[in-house]
Structure 1
Amino acid sequence: MIKTTESAVVIGASIAGLAAARALSETYAKVTVVERDVLPGGAEHRRAVPQDKHVHSLLAGGSVTLETLFPGFGDDMVAAGAFAFRSGVDWYLDGHRIQALPQRGRGVVSSRPLLESVLRKRVAALPNVTIVDNCDVLNPLASVDRRRVTGVRVASRAPGATPTELAADLVVDASGRASRSAIWLAELGFQAPRETKMTVDTTYVTRSYRREPHHLDGRPGTIISPFPGSPRGGFLLAQEHDEFILTIGGLFGEQPPMDDDTLLTFAESLPSKDFPEFLRTATRITDPVKMRYPASVRRHYEELDEFPAGYLVVGDAVCSFNPVYGHGMTIAAVSAALLRDLLEAGPDDVAQRFFRAVAGPVDAAWTLATRSDMRFTASGVTPTLESRLLDRYITRLARAAATDEVVAAAVISVLQLTETPDTILAPAVLGRVLRHMSNAARVG
């Protein structure tokens, strides 16, 4: 493929950064990924990614998209040790187990370090991509009129190193939630994006256990989403090396225990016997680790009238979601695929075009997550009449999905980000939910 532009720099070798580098590699003759952390040679935990010790669920929407960016991605995951399955993961919504559906094709689950290592290996193998680790990006470089970003100033973390300049036709910030883009924009004379925050005060604790054939009757996992009246939830998913990872916690101040005995009591409060039954026989192989997530943050770059040429922001630097919904990696993958498609039309005004394009999937995931969080009284959000009606509908939707395959398919497609939230309001789904309500009323 003919490269139309000379060079690009990606800030951060996160999943968003690696996927972005893959997208850029089709248009730019040279792509450099700059990462502040020392990158491991394989699937190891990274100091700069403290959340990588916790469960990471790559939703179906993300898996499909990564396969388009990295053909053979699923095979690479399995070859690296990821757990492959045909039967679906159980998912509890509002305390109801969603009707199990036949698995379409092969699914895979793994730890975050394994997933990241597979993507990093694929990106590092691209002939026009270089990954530089143990290096800080200090600030962007700009043209004399400060209307265009022309590269970045970087500094190796090696002793005695001095800052150097790295020229680029496009700089992509994939540095995550702690992105400094808003500060850098202000320094260049541009307006910082408006921020929307949703306080969730999520806390979760993670442990890993040995996976044995009798656990979950051979199923690959169980997911329980918190809901009003039950702000606790959890993930129990198979991993590589014959392990299960358990991440359990809650919203709005719920504090999961760190000791095993109290953890069992906590697990018994969940609307599924899977968790306590598993814990009674499982052998723990790692110490517990705790993570707190105070608030979801969305930065509205799509609203800006002016933005410097040669600059772009992706991933958690645009929107950081409540992790209990597992949206982050999928939106990162979708964003990279959109970037690749937009660059086919040329690099001009790519930021404005990208921000407008990515606003759709980001808004869909943000709405799904925040609407779920707003259902809790502790959110402090005063419900409107529309939201109260929607909350009642979601409760009835979950009940119907427990026995109705059509409703279940719609719910799972939304939870897995393969369809937008309005799918659950489609006439065919709405009609079946209403019929379930009517049948339940007659039985009652």
Structure 2
Amino acid sequence: MAHILVIGAGLAGSATALFCARRGHRVTVLEGGGPPPPGAGADDDWRGWERKEVPHARQGHAFLALSTRVLREERPDLLAALAARGAHVTPLETGSEDATVLSRRLVHEGVIRRTAAAEPGVTLVTGTRVTGLLRDGEADGVPRVSGVRTEDGTQHTADLVVDAGGRRSQLARWLAAADLVPPRETAQPCGFFYLTRHYRLRPGSSFPSTTVPIVTELDYGTALVFPGDNDTFQLSTTVAVDDPHRHRLREPEIFTRFLQAVPSTAEWCERGVPLDDPAPMGRLENRRRTLLDADGRPTAAGLVLVGDAALQTNPTFGRGVSLAFVHARQLARTADRAAAGPAAYTAGFERWTDDNLGVWFEIQRATDQARLAQLRAGLRGEHAPPADDLPNRFVRAMAVLRDDDERIRSASLRMYHMLMTPRELMSDRAVSRRILAFLREHPMPETRAEGPDRAAFEALVTGAATSSVLPSAGIPTKGPGPRART
């Protein structure tokens, strides 16, 4: 069995430790931040746990069915622990056992972290920041990373070093300081400004829906709902980073005024009591880091990246946790090979990542590029035509048809929850025949969401709107095409 050193105890790092320990590996986890409050309730985790290392810790979260499937296969006790903590393990409407977990991020992470800290074979050290890497000769001609150095000067060595440091991974700096080649990176700014506010249901109220996604895409912005644990939920909105009114949405009254004008979020506003002020998150980006050079050769041996440190995607889609759990599971399944061939292991793990997870990174890049073009057109009060390639038209047709076709709705949910890729969905003959027939009659289908158009939005955020102008039923936004529930 291997000794594995994990940098970071977020969801990716804690899952890596748990999945590896289950298979008999010895795991040391180094975390720069503090632990969750001892013996605290779910609300105490959310209010009192400082997670500055996780920039989206207080943003809306949807824990997709792929992440739940991995937990069910690897550690079903975690699903029971999440439910006991007040999270809702909610089956998908697909006729399968797949489910999503409805929870605030910090409540979910608190369950995983505490379980990892108590796991035999796992040593979790908090409040310890890594400051550099240790080198130990070469493996098959490749410089070998044998451990890390922390800020107090302690050296930790292991058979395999795992960077699970998330979006703010310092690996490039550490590699450069050790005279090693930094990872190759592909980065794409999403161009979105993201705001989230938490709510608790009023006494006697219930969630209008527990089926995610609950998303309304307007020409200039997006409104999202994330049902959570213990009668809480989160309302979020995104607008372009160059929207001149984006910071006005940080004002609680204006944030609420906008979401009350969007029908899909208005009913949630009516049922909830705010628990905090809108929390912003900027600099959203999609970023891929790899330890393979342009010729496919590893630049370091005995080192791998897991979760957001390797594949960072737009958090509003909620794909990061699922990618991290699948990544952690693959590492746990293969870690016993690391000591015998550290260079080959690093190379093989990177190739597996590209072959199995890279598709979601590329999908996210294409989706965000198209969406940003729409948002920027929306800033000018214009309606940008959607991309006209077949995959995009296929997905838009599915959005139009899913309300009235149970099979298409089931396929749509499975794709959103990462249980199948768009290519796999297009290979479903029954679904494809129905959608392609629709596309022959409607070559460029578009969904129409209900909500304020750009002029009404600007009136809302500048205070020029009145209740007679903005009925609670919502204001139609621009955009041709059949209407679909979003």
Distance 1:216 1:239, change over 3 A: closer
User: Equivalents in 1 of 2:242, 2:227: separation in Å?
Assistant: 28
User: Offset of 1:101 from its aligned partner?
Assistant: 5.0
Q: Supply the AA of the counterpart residue of 2:394.
A: Y
1:372 to 367, 372, 376: 367
Question: Which residue is equivalent to 1:10?
Answer: 6
In structure 2, the residue matched to 1:233 is 222
| 1:174 CA drift (Å) | 0.7
Give the Å deviation of 1:415: 1.0
Match of 1:122 among 110, 115, 124: 115
In structure 1, C-alpha distance between the alignment counterparts of 2:95 and 2:355, rounded to whole Å: 29
Closer, same or farther: CA 169–346 of 1 in aligned 2, 3 Å: closer
Match of 2:35 in 1: 39
Q: Which runs of 5+ in 2 are unaligned?
A: 377-383, 444-481
CA separation in 1, counterparts of 2:358 and 2:413? 18
SS in 1 for 2:297: coil
Contact 1:221 1:237 in 2 (8 A): no
Within 5 Å, which residues of 2 pair with 1:169-248?
A: 169-212=159-202, 213-217=204-208, 219-220=209-210, 223-225=213-215, 227=217, 230-248=219-237
Which amino acid letter does the alignment assign opposite residue 109 of structure 1? L
The answer (yes or no) to whether the contact 2:223–2:238 under 8 Å persists in 1 is yes
Deviation at 1:357, TM superposition (A): 1.0
Give distance in 2, aligned partners of 1:12 and 1:377: 32
| Mapped contact 2:72–2:79 kept (Cα < 8 A) | yes
Q: Distance in 2 between matches of 1:136 and 1:151?
A: 13
Instruction: Pick one of 46, 66, 69 that aligns with 1:61.
Output: 66
- Secondary structure of 1:135's partner? coil
Q: 2:280 aligns with which of 290, 300, 304?
A: 290
Q: Secondary structure at the match of 2:283?
A: strand
Q: Per-residue deviation at 1:369?
A: 1.5
User: Quick one: distance in 2 between partners of 1:350 and 1:50?
Assistant: 31
1:225, distance to aligned residue in structure 2 (A): 4.2
Q: 1:432: which partner in 2?
A: 434
CA shift, 1:200, in A, is 1.3
Q: CA deviation at 1:281?
A: 4.4
Distance 1:18 1:136 in 2: 16
Residues 1:350 and 2:345 are matched in the alignment: yes
Give the partner amino acid of 2:50: R
Q: Which moved more, 1:137-146 or 1:169-178?
A: 137-146
Are 1:113 and 2:106 matched, yes or no?
Answer: yes
Q: How many residues align?
A: 414
Secondary structure of 2:213's aligned partner: strand
226, 235, 238: which one pairs with 1:249?
238
Distance 1:251 1:326, change over 3 A: farther
Q: Which residue number in structure 1 is paired with residue 82 of structure 2?
A: 77
> In the aligned structure 2, how far is the partner of 1:389 from the partner of 1:106?
30
1:315 aligns with 2:307: yes
Which whole-Å CA distance do the structure 1 matches of 2:161 and 2:317 have between them?
29
Following superposition, the deviation at residue 102 of structure 1 comes to 5.4
| Cα offset, 1:400, TM superposition | 1.6
**CA-CA distance at 1:236 after TM superposition:** 2.1
Taking the aligned partners of 2:298 and 2:4, their CA distance within structure 1 comes to 21
**Aligned twin of 2:357:** 362
Per-residue deviation at 1:115? 1.0
SS state at 1:54 partner: coil
TM-score (norm 2): 0.77
Partner secondary structure for residue 113 of structure 2: helix
Matches of 2:51 and 2:77, distance apart in 1: 29
Distance of aligned partners of 1:275 and 1:83 in 2 relative to their CA distance in 1, 3 Å threshold: same
SS at match of 2:191: strand
**Structure 1, residues 172-208: CA drift from partner, whole Å, max 9, x if none?**
1111122122233334444333322222122122222
Q: Distance in 2 between matches of 1:24 and 1:185?
A: 25
Q: 1:35-76 CA distances to partner (integer Å, 9 max, x unpaired)?
A: 011112353432322421111211100111122222322111
What is aligned with 2:408?
407
The AA in structure 2 aligned to 1:129 is V
Given that residues 27 and 343 in structure 1 are in contact (C-alpha distance below 8 angstroms), is that contact kept between their aligned partners in structure 2?
Answer: no
Whole-Å separation in 1 of the counterparts to 2:207 and 2:79 = 24
The question of whether the paired residues in 1 share the 8 Å contact of 2:94 and 2:413 is answered with no
Alignment partners' CA distance in 2, 1:8 and 1:138: 18
Asked if 1:164 is matched to 2:154, the reply is yes
Distance 2:149 2:29 in 1: 13
Q: Matched residues in 1 for 2:289 and 2:309: separation? A: 8
1:139 to 107, 132, 144: 132
Which piece of structure 1 moves more, 355-364 or 110-119?
355-364
Q: 1:385-409 CA distances to partner (integer Å, 9 max, x unpaired)?
A: 9963433333222112222122222
Query: 1:302: how far off?
Result: 4.8
CA distance in structure 2 between the aligned counterparts of 1:397 and 1:107, rounded to whole angstroms: 21
In 2, the alpha carbon distance for the partners of 1:388 and 1:280 equals 40
For normalisation by structure 1, the TM-score amounts to 0.84
Amino acid at match of 1:432: R
Uncovered stretches (5+) of structure 1, i.e. residues with no partner? 89-99, 156-161
8 A Cα contact 1:222 1:235, kept in partner? no
- Relative to structure 1, is the Cα distance of residues 433 and 337 closer, same or farther in structure 2, using a 3 angstrom cutoff? same
